[in-house]
Structure 1
Amino acid sequence: MGRHVRSDDGRLLLAEEWGNPSGTPVLLLHGTPGSRLGTALPDLADHHPDTRFFAYDRPGYGGSDRLPGRRVADAARDAAAVADALGVEHFAVVGRSGGAPHALACAALLPDRVRAAAALVSIAPRDAAGLDWFAGMTPFNVHEFGLAAESPELLDADLAARSAAIRRDPERLVEDLRAELSDHDLPIVSDPAVRATLLRTYREAVGTSHHGWTDDTLAFTHPWGFDVSAVAVPVLLWHGLDDAFSPPAHTRWLADRIPGATLVLKPNAGHFAAQYALPAVLEWLRDQDAQEGGGR
């Protein structure tokens, strides 16, 4: 069911925790659109009994209050508020897809609390120098991100209509995306566990409003509010080479600018392969923790 916690400015954020209460804390950040319910497949905690997982709905999604005009950087203070409410001092953070830039924000802006971070199938900042930002991106994302830059009002209306359709039929978004999925993604979204997780998170994400989706899209296409080159904690960047939703060139750009980042480019893998990558990512995080002597 989750629990509400208050942000430092009084907003309510709906958080969830599971796994081992005494385990190593890992914050999981959901995609776009998404919710705390879609951060991992159901059996993850069973295979990682030494981990305490927690997540929350970003503002405007699910049960969390909206924060109009939010930036990617604002995720750091919300993550800190959720961690404080749960009694977590130090933690690792993992963001997939739309959650990945927010994970990098936590790494950059909470260096005394975040032990390590992983960004899976991330996009780069819209003003990324030398990057052809739309190259290789699906028409769906080109359209939405284009509206964000040219007409936020039209973007909001478009996502309001899409969200209403998803509320009526949560499978609608999955089916809409099928036409743009790579051959490597199709069997993944057909996996019953993945499909059930996607439907659950989409239903929760837009159950109250479309605002989280709108605000995510705007945040990605406006200045993020931090410099990725300022990240000083260990970072893993993971990307499927056949990803057209977040083209791998974005992660290559990030890897060139985040000091000491570990880059994993997976052949024969698309965007949704990140669903299966989390166990290996958690092993990498555990290795980072061991190298630091058990964390700070």
Structure 2
Amino acid sequence: MTPVLHHRIDGPPDAPALILAPSLGTSLAVWEAQAAALARHHRVIRWDLPGHGGSPTSALRDPAPGATTVAGLADLVLDLADRLGAPRFGYAGISLGGAVGAHLAAHHPERITRLALVCSSARFGDPAAWRERAALVRAQGTGPLADTAPGRWFTPDFASTRTAGRLVDDLRTADPTGYAACCDALADCDLRSELHRITTPTLVVAGRADPATPPAHARGLADGIPRATLLELPGASHLAPAERPQAVLDALLGHFAAPAGDGGRYTAGMAVRRAVLGDAHVDRATARTTAFTADFQDYITRCAWGEVWTRPGLDRRTRSCLTLTALIAHGHLEELAMHLRAALRNGLTPDDIKEVLLHSAVYCGVPAANSAFATAQRVLDEDGAPSS
């Protein structure tokens, strides 16, 4: 009997199953930053590719050059799911792991409840390049690739971190035969003509600094899959779950917790919320979320940010002006300070903000405007923005 893929299970045994798939060269550890949070409400199943992490290369039916395909890897995942009693499951995969998920959604739609494709593609470039890489690894091992992996996987600022180093170590210890077989699968992969068959709600996540699967690849997936939502993450390269862990977690939590008919509002709302308020603020708000406040945070993200701020009728500068005026009128100075910073991020200058505050003095009252000017001066001073 073919060995089962090495895997790890976290979360309640009776919770909905969520399978997390790695990228070529990594192990199930690539999902470490998201696994615990996702396991609160899912039975999270992480697995290793053949020859990677704890999965033996012998998990492949035939590791000979050219024999391994994405369809064959998908069969291994179905076998794992069957052995674990998961007839239906959500699925999120990075790069090659994402391609496996796309194949499953196209050919086994009855098994997939929701799909997330992270830094992935329908076609991974020139097949000859993958065959050359497979031949190199079969001859010399994974060492030469590990030496150059940081430039393909991470932005320069992240490449020297401990997390990056551990992921590169996974590549160094990968079995050359298993790794090369997975290269063969990428060489053979072309899902472009099958994307229209994917009917499950799909989230596509791209790293804007990803040289391996650039954002154009993600847009191709989102354009080809009828019910897809696209999220592009700034400051992320190919292994976005490692480099932008909270942003990826927020997107996955929203996508896999979203009710039918959500239409991607949570994901779109979280993207706008981060763009307007900044990652640091949203990360702090997320970290402070408790069971008592979780529903309110979900409501804010879906409704305020996912339904109103995403509408096309007004640009973000105008929405900031309206928001500042409403907060001044109601005396919500703490929220005003937050949205003053957001207004600067949305392109308002200090002079623009001054005009909004002067205008509000006429229609909201001088005392309210006086407090608003004091708050604005403090924010401008703290942020180092010129006030004249």
Aligned counterpart, 1:139: none
Letter paired with 2:88:
H
Q: CA deviation at 1:254?
A: 1.5
Alignment of 1:187-202 (within 5 A): 187-196=157-166, 198-199=167-168, 201-202=170-171
Q: CA deviation at 1:227?
A: 1.2
Q: Once the two structures are superposed, what CA deviation does each residue of 1:162-220 show, in whole Å capped at 9, x if it has no partner?
A: 53537xxxxx71x42334566xx233343334433x1453255x2xx312322222222
Letter paired with 1:265:
E
2:150 to 158, 165, 178: 178
Q: Does the 8 Å contact 1:13/1:64 carry over to 2?
A: no
Taking every aligned residue pair, what percent have the same amino acid on both sides? 24
Q: Does the 8 Å contact 2:20/2:44 carry over to 1?
A: yes
Aligned counterpart, 2:220: 253
Aligned counterpart, 2:334: none
Alignment of 1:1-296 (within 5 A): 10-20=1-11, 21-35=13-27, 37-41=28-32, 44-46=35-37, 48-61=39-52, 62-65=55-58, 66=60, 67-68=62-63, 69-125=67-123, 133=125, 145-148=127-130, 152=131, 154-163=132-141, 165=143, 173=146, 175-179=147-151, 185-196=155-166, 198-199=167-168, 201-204=170-173, 206=174, 209-224=175-190, 227-275=194-242, 276=245, 277-288=247-258, 290-291=259-260
* Structure with the larger strand share: 1
Aligned counterpart, 1:3: none
Q: How far apart in 2 are the matches of 1:52 and 1:264?
A: 25
Q: Does the 8 Å contact 1:75/1:105 carry over to 2?
A: no
Letter paired with 2:185:
A
Q: How far apart in 2 are the matches of 1:247 and 1:157?
A: 25
Q: Report the count of equivalent residues.
A: 250
Q: Once the two structures are superposed, what CA deviation does each residue of 1:133-178 show, in whole Å capped at 9, x if it has no partner?
A: 57xxxxxxxxxx5333xxx4x5433113453537xxxxx71x4233
How does the TM-score come out when normalised to structure 2? 0.57
Distance 1:200 1:285, change over 3 A: farther
Q: Does the 8 Å contact 1:121/1:246 carry over to 2?
A: yes
Q: CA deviation at 1:224?
A: 4.2
- Helix, strand or coil: the match of 2:213? coil
Q: CA deviation at 1:285?
A: 3.1
Q: Once the two structures are superposed, what CA deviation does each residue of 1:259-289 show, in whole Å capped at 9, x if it has no partner?
A: 121111223332233322441232133333x
Q: How far apart in 2 are the matches of 1:253 and 1:179?
A: 24
Q: How far apart in 2 are the matches of 1:222 and 1:110?
A: 19
Q: Once the two structures are superposed, what CA deviation does each residue of 1:29-77 show, in whole Å capped at 9, x if it has no partner?
A: 1111233x33412563156422221133334443242334122122332
Distance 1:106 1:157, change over 3 A: same
Distance 1:23 1:292, change over 3 A: farther
Q: Does the 8 Å contact 1:117/1:235 carry over to 2?
A: yes
Unpaired runs of 5+ residues, structure 2, are: 263-388
Q: How far apart in 1 are the matches of 2:256 and 2:142?
A: 41
Q: Does the 8 Å contact 1:14/1:64 carry over to 2?
A: no
Letter paired with 2:205:
W
Q: How far apart in 2 are the matches of 1:179 and 1:50?
A: 35
Q: How far apart in 1 are the matches of 2:7 and 2:153?
A: 30
Q: CA deviation at 1:125?
A: 2.0
Q: CA deviation at 1:113?
A: 1.4
- Helix, strand or coil: the match of 2:49? coil
Letter paired with 1:218:
D
Bigger Rg, which one: 2
Q: How far apart in 2 are the matches of 1:30 and 1:181?
A: 13
Distance 1:200 1:23, change over 3 A: farther
Unpaired runs of 5+ residues, structure 1, are: 1-9, 127-132, 135-144, 167-171
Q: How far apart in 2 are the matches of 1:43 and 1:250?
A: 24
